[in-house]
Structure 1
Amino acid sequence: MATMKDIARLAKVSTSTVSHVINKSRFVSDEIAERVNNAAKELNYAPSALARSLKMKRTNTIGMLVTTSTNPFFGEVVKGVERRCYEKGYNLILCNTEGDSERMKSSIDTLLQKRVDGLMLMCSTLEGEHLDVFERYPELPVVVMDWGPMLFASDKIQDNSHQGGYMATKYLIDNGHTEIGCITGPLHRNQASLRYEGYKKAMADANLELNPQWIIESNFMCDGGFDSYHKLKSKGQLPSALFVCNDMMAMGVINAAYQGGLHIPSDLSIIGYDDIHLSKFMTPSLTTIHQPKHRLGKAAVDTLINRLKTPDAYPQVVELEPTLVVRDSVQTL
């Protein structure tokens, strides 16, 4: 592999001159710069990213840990992260934790060995885990996405889940529904809890009673929605509408209702949460709360880069606001 010394020998200049041309660190005449560049091209020279990173103490590489899920929400966020990294000239190393805290810790150690400049975490199934790696490396920039209260200092990107839950329920109420149930995610997780609290507040503001028979805690997965529908059905009369706290569970509910002979929305209105790409192609297309997934990814990358520039700044929380997407799964009474 060619080195700067090889280029200097061929171009008949000093090694320091080659360095200035390659790194654009000092003015060099056009004639000499052309000789150096032609020599580099002839020798197929490629700058050493490792050598540059050691000199600059930066690798322009970001590590991201994410929990694999069948929920396309995570993939859509990662796509936003990848795009922003490319726009900002950063490389991305993606690690899958599979919801395992030991695997997450091992992945963090691996990323640190790769000398990443900072970390992004989107592993909400592990929220509340004690990660001593952040105590050992307090200077490591970390941005957390889609996670609840943390035991370490970091910047945080999140959607306003309480507002989203309120908006979803209020939309059902505004369309004449008074018998409204809720299928929640795991309530030990911050976002599931906040969406449920938003639902309860909207019901209270409208002076509507909560029927505990119509509230089911589930798992944010399609099978959870499917099973939750059958639990509701087994308890007797169904409500006229359901706020299902993510689109994947809503898909499961719609499938179970269809198998049970119900029509959506004439027999049961459903509103979801996330606005995953598939939601508009369901039958009927799903009315839902839109999370700005690409902006979530973009904001995480921008926040991490800003942290690299100003490492002593106070940790910040960036909250993105949800919006309502009206489609065909809610009937007006």
Structure 2
Amino acid sequence: MATMKDVAKLASVSTSTVSHVMNATRFVSEDIAKRVQAAAQQLNYHGPSAVARSLKQNCTKTIGMLVTTSTNPFYAEVVRSVEQACYQQGYNLILCNTEGDAQRLKRSLTTLIERRVDGLIMMCAMLEGEDALIYRRLDSLPVVVMDWGQVDFPCDKIQGHSRQGGILATQYLIDNGHTQIGCITGPRNRQQADLRYQGFVDAMQAANLPINPDWVVEGNFETEGGKAAFAKLQAVGSLPTALFVCNDMMAIGVLHEAQRTGVQIPEQLSVIGYDNIQLAKFMTPALTSIHQSKARLGAAAVHALIARLQDPNLPPQFMDIEPRVTVRASVSQR
């Protein structure tokens, strides 16, 4: 089996030069690099394995990400931005789907720790009770939590400013002349869902508008949940003139159910969603939505993690991604 010395001899360079070419640890002229690579290929030499290098350097250039699988394309768009940011920074990404299951989350955490990932990005429901004891294994591992609830272990946090987004959505409906406004919330036990609802309440109270409890329905952030929530609104009797739906997937379910039952949007009911997923602009009518940048979320998480790897003594980082209204055709003026 060929060694680094064999490659160095054939390429007429030093062993240290071969090492720098193989590991990209120092600039080497293009001519010398080509000679080394040609010699390595001729001798079928592949250099030290990634595992061996990681053991020696205590760095695998790998980041693990835990995400709750969902039919919501929002997650896929965020994961794509994380992967792109990892690639640009020279890191690999290992993605684990938790499916919202505590045991699967524990197993995935164990697997990522055993694979010696340099850090973790978590975008999933957190473990509670005795299950949460596994977080003690994260003491020496940098962690960034994305767009989720409270955590009881040291980490950096990147999230969308959900309460402000709820205010923007509701205020946009008010600015378009609506006073009878309802809200389909996400699961209220999830912090981001509750913050979006609190933003709705803030805007309604600031405008001195009453909140009809019959027009506030809890959904599950999925399309079917939006359909079911809209059916509950219809069962109550008269509909509001406008509806803040706390994510786009539920809003798509609302549009579908409204069309099925003959409710015209936006003529009879204006709808604004949240997340501004790519699918929103292709709905009929095109969905007005609160935009939170998935690209910025992903990039911010990766950059925060790498900054923590470079300086473990940094103070905890917390970043809100500011939302904005993306205007389309699903909201009418009154």
SS at the partner of 2:275?
A: coil
Corresponding residue of 1:199: 200
- The one-letter code matched in structure 1 to 2:303 is D
Structure 1 residues 262, 297: closer, same or farther in 2, change over 3 A?
Answer: same
Deviation at 1:23, TM superposition (A): 4.2
- Bigger drift between 12-21 and 231-240 goes to 12-21
2: CA distance, partners of 1:237 / 1:275: 28
The size of the alignment, in residue pairs, is: 332
CA deviations 1:125-147 (Å, max 9, x no partner) are: 34656532331331100000011
Paired residues of 2:102 and 2:127 also in contact (CA < 8 A): no
Paired residues of 2:81 and 2:299 also in contact (CA < 8 A): yes
Q: 1:106-125 residue pairs with structure 2 within 5 A?
A: 106-123=107-124, 125=125
- The one-letter code matched in structure 2 to 1:78 is V
Deviation at 1:57, TM superposition (A): 0.9
- The one-letter code matched in structure 1 to 2:180 is E
1: CA distance, partners of 2:253 / 2:17: 65
Corresponding residue of 1:156: 157
Paired residues of 1:169 and 1:203 also in contact (CA < 8 A): yes
Corresponding residue of 2:299: 298
- The one-letter code matched in structure 2 to 1:278 is L
Corresponding residue of 1:260: 261
The answer to whether 1:38 aligns with 2:49 is: no
CA deviations 1:116-172 (Å, max 9, x no partner) are: 10000010x346565323313311000000111111110000010000000000000
Paired residues of 1:81 and 1:297 also in contact (CA < 8 A): yes
Q: 1:309-328 residue pairs with structure 2 within 5 A?
A: 309-328=310-329
2: CA distance, partners of 1:321 / 1:17: 48
Structure 1 residues 242, 20: closer, same or farther in 2, change over 3 A?
Answer: closer
1: CA distance, partners of 2:206 / 2:103: 44
Paired residues of 1:127 and 1:189 also in contact (CA < 8 A): no
Deviation at 1:16, TM superposition (A): 4.9
2: CA distance, partners of 1:58 / 1:34: 27
Q: Give the gaps of 5 or more residues in structure 1.
A: none
- The one-letter code matched in structure 2 to 1:46 is H
1: CA distance, partners of 2:114 / 2:5: 30
Structure 1 residues 20, 90: closer, same or farther in 2, change over 3 A?
Answer: closer
- Bigger drift between 221-230 and 5-14 goes to 5-14
Corresponding residue of 1:269: 270
CA RMSD of aligned residues (A): 2.2
1: CA distance, partners of 2:13 / 2:37: 12
SS at the partner of 1:131?
A: helix
Q: Give the gaps of 5 or more residues in structure 2.
A: none
CA deviations 1:22-56 (Å, max 9, x no partner) are: 44667989997765443213224323222221221
Corresponding residue of 2:79: 78
Structure 1 residues 7, 254: closer, same or farther in 2, change over 3 A?
Answer: same
Q: 1:130-169 residue pairs with structure 2 within 5 A?
A: 131-169=132-170
Paired residues of 1:128 and 1:149 also in contact (CA < 8 A): no
2: CA distance, partners of 1:233 / 1:34: 71
